[in-house]
Structure 1
Amino acid sequence: MRGSERFHHWIHRHPTFGPLLTDWQQKRALRRSVKRKAMVMIIVSFAFSIYCVPMEWLKIALLVFAIVLLLWFNRLPVIEHLADREENH
């Protein structure tokens, strides 16, 4: 935001990134679908990295880091939409 006003406006108007950034800046929360996709990507990328790394100690370090990251990420708040709630169905 502070580095480039042009980039700030571009990314906030971007169809994919704009709503994510707005949700985070206004509510400090993520949509459930975004959180789910991000967790899958974290798991896939770490699994690939662990598979590719030849050293056992590095595999263990990556696994520990992935677990800590997933635990932290899972604690981020989720935006609850009224239409998503069970009583509205």
Structure 2
Amino acid sequence: MVVVVQNIVVVVVVVVVVVTVVIVIKVVVVVVIVVVVMLVVVVVMTVEQGKKNKKRRAKRRHKLGHVSMTHVIRAPESLPISSL
């Protein structure tokens, strides 16, 4: 009887250890997946924000360039014809 009881205890302890190890591994895997997904989302958001900022900067440059071009184009018109 004592040997059978000892064997049952050993089996129960092994099963409990295996189950806890499996649960811990699952939790670690889930945490790693969540962290990776969050990092990917952050990287994608920063890249998109960078693209938007580049577009905004390009628009500003374009507007400034456009304004300066119109000034350059208008400058000769503003000269009196008599001075030519």
Q: Same fold (TM over 0.5)?
A: no
Normalized per residue, the structure richer in helix is: 2
Normalized per residue, the structure richer in strand is: 1
Report 1 or 2 for greater relative contact order, CA contacts < 8 Å, sequence distance ≥ 6: 1
TM-score by length of 2: 0.29
- Larger C-alpha radius of gyration, 1 or 2? 2
